[in-house]
């Protein structure tokens, strides 16, 4: 396999036909063009860095770093890159070499450009490879859990839009941007709601298939009332259940040990310092390209 490095949206767009074919071979389904376009062609934070692996003229490997931004409470931006879209043709998955060459090429470009730091959300097939092969550091590992209120007929919540797209949280933690640019970019496929429930529960979520409320981030100063407020939000939206990470369940006063696990899928967030140390940041599913 020969690895080619590209570093512009125009080059990524030119490779789309090959990428579409590889995605189908690797995952057995069609590429989501809307999501792919958001990250590679219409990313408001810059151009991607993409390592493409070829066997003769056939694309057999792909890995990318796409630019992102975090902000502090004063609005100061902290650029970083997100590692996404690792895929290998089934015939090239034996051993470590193809994976190593793709990631090593991309990380070499990151170091040459002195990028600050990287984040990634690897799946079950790759997290050990990046941890042991490239010294990525795990920051969060959590399951996903389903929740339904004990009393589904709770009264509707008092819901108002949050003044920003971010939550209160700790003042020393960086978070995703809270401006219109970020919100529009991350809401192309399904709009994200950022709301204050009953004057207490700050929550960012999206509705899936009309009946599932997917919690992307949540904070409350009164966790003893978190279940009540979330149940009221379900009644308000018409959703039948909520799904959230164990981190966010605990943040609003729920106990993941008593909740239904959503398959055996785990959300893992890893970081890798390049030119600077990884700052304190708030964990939210909006940081991932999956949700």
Does 29 reside within a domain? yes
Beta bridge partners of residue 140, listed in sequence order: 269
Beta bridge partners of residue 55, listed in sequence order: 58
Helices (H), 93-209: 97-112, 127-134, 180-185
- Residue pLDDT, tens place only, 266-286: 999 999 999 999 999 999 999
Both 74 and 185 in one domain: the answer is no
Does 256 reside within a domain? yes
Q: How far is CA 78 from CA 1, 15, 192, in A?
A: 35, 29, 23
**How many domains are contained in the chain?**
2
Q: How confident is the model at residue 153 (pLDDT cuts 50, 70, 90)?
A: low
Both 72 and 151 in one domain: the answer is no
Res 180: pLDDT: 86
Rounded CA gap, 140 and 23, in Å?
27
pLDDT at 139 over 70: yes
Rounded CA gap, 272 and 183, in Å?
26
If you average pLDDT over residues 36-54, what whole number do you get?
Answer: 97
- Residue pLDDT, tens place only, 173-185: 999 988 889 988 9
Rounded CA gap, 116 and 216, in Å?
25
Question: Which residue range is the domain that position 18 belongs to?
Answer: 2-115
Q: Per the structure block, which two tokens stand in for 5?
A: 């490095």
Both 59 and 157 in one domain: the answer is no
pLDDT at 73 over 90: no
Rounded CA gap, 4 and 279, in Å?
31
**Coil, helix or strand for 83?**
strand
- Residue pLDDT, tens place only, 173-220: 999 988 889 988 988 767 889 999 999 999 999 999 879 999 999 999
pLDDT at 147 over 80: yes
Rounded CA gap, 267 and 262, in Å?
11
Q: How far is CA 263 from CA 144, 146, 243, 268, 286, in A?
A: 8, 10, 12, 15, 20
Burial 256-285 (b: 16+ CB within 10 A, else e): beebeeeeeebbbbbbbebeeebbebbbbb
If you average pLDDT over residues 59-68, what whole number do you get?
Answer: 98
CATH of the domain at 99: 3.40.630.30
If you average pLDDT over residues 64-84, what whole number do you get?
Answer: 94
Rounded CA gap, 106 and 138, in Å?
19
Pairing of strands 77-88, 117-120: parallel
Res 74: pLDDT: 84
Helix (H) / strand (E) element for 65: namely strand 58-71
Both 110 and 8 in one domain: the answer is yes
Does 124 reside within a domain? no
Does 110 reside within a domain? yes
CATH of the domain at 176: 3.40.630
- Residue pLDDT, tens place only, 121-130: 999 989 999 9
Rounded CA gap, 284 and 267, in Å?
11
Q: How far from each other are the two terminal CA atoms of the chain, in whole angstroms?
A: 32
Res 244: pLDDT: 98
Helices (H), 42-143: 97-112, 127-134
pTM confidence score: 0.93
Res 164: pLDDT: 66
């Amino acid at each position: 396999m020969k690895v080619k490095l590209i570093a512009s949206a125009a080059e990524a767009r030119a490779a789309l036909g090959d990428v579409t074919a590889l995605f189908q071979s690797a995952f057995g389904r069609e590429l989501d063009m809307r999501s792919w376009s958001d990250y590679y062609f219409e990313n408001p934070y810059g151009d991607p860095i993409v390592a493409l692996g070829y066997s003769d003229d056939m694309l057999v490997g792909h890995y990318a770093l796409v630019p992102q931004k975090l902000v502090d409470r004063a609005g100061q931006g902290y650029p970083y890159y997100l590692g996404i879209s690792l895929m290998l043709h089934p015939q090239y998955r034996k051993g470590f070499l193809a994976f190593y060459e793709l990631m090593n090429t991309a990380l070499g470009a990151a170091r040459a450009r002195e990028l600050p730091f990287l984040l990634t959300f690897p799946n079950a097939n790759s997290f050990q490879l990046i941890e042991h092969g490239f010294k990525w550091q795990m920051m969060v590992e959590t399951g996903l859990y389903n929740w339904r209120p004990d009393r589904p007929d709770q009264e509707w919540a008092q819901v108002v839009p949050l003044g920003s797209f971010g939550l209160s949280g700790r003042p020393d933690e960086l978070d995703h941007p809270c401006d219109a640019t970020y919100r529009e970019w991350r809401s192309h496929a399904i709009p994200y709601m950022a709301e204050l429930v009953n004057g207490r529960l700050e929550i960012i979520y999206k509705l899936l298939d009309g009946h599932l409320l997917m919690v992307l981030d949540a904070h409350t100063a009164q966790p003893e009332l978190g279940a009540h407020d979330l149940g009221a939000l379900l009644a308000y939206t018409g959703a039948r259940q909520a799904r959230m990470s164990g981190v966010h369940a605990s943040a609003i006063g729920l106990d993941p040990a008593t909740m239904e696990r959503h398959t055996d899928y785990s959300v893992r967030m890893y970081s890798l310092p390049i030119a600077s140390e990884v700052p304190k940041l708030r964990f939210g599913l909006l940081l991932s390209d999956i949700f």
